[in-house]
Amino acid sequence: MVAKRAYLYCIGTCLVVAVIYNILIRLFAPILVWLSILATGVALGGTTYFLRKYHEDKYYEGSEYSENMGNILQIVIYILYGACVLFVLTVLCMYRNIQISIGVL
């Protein structure tokens, strides 16, 4: 009984925040979805680029670093190239489905 007002304030605040959140999601859903897809692609491509640059700088022929580690990095770079291509193809193939999902939100 002592904390009755605190509970009412908490419930009221939660309801207000939920309503504001729903309004913001409705207004900014397309921007957020495409921004997250773009950020994922940029992160995947950037990781591939910087890992390739690191491999070229540290594991050139005749370097003192382990050749095995250089080979492992090269394999990982090829896997990341494949992941980049699959990501782009997936986004292109799923474009219509993404638009429908945004429409549902």
Residues 7-63: tens digit of each pLDDT: 999 999 999 999 999 998 888 888 988 999 999 999 999 999 999 999 888 887 777
Q: What is the DSSP letter of 1?
A: -
Nearest CA-CA partner of 26 in 102, 90, 100: 102
Angle at the Cα of 17 (from 11 to 20), degrees rounded to 5?
A: 140
What are the tokens at 30? Answer: 């397309």
**Angstrom distance (rounded) from CA 101 to CA 98:** 5
**Does 79 score more than 90 pLDDT?**
yes
pTM, entire model: 0.69
Parse the chain into domains and list their residue ranges: 28-104
Instruction: Identify whether the C-beta of residue 73 lies closer than 8 Å to the C-beta of residue 51.
Output: yes
pLDDT reported for residue 68: 83
Instruction: Identify whether the C-beta of residue 50 lies closer than 8 Å to the C-beta of residue 73.
Output: no
Helix and strand numbers, DSSP H then E, in the chain? 3, 0
Q: What is the DSSP letter of 17?
A: H
Residues 84-105: tens digit of each pLDDT: 999 999 999 999 998 898 888 7
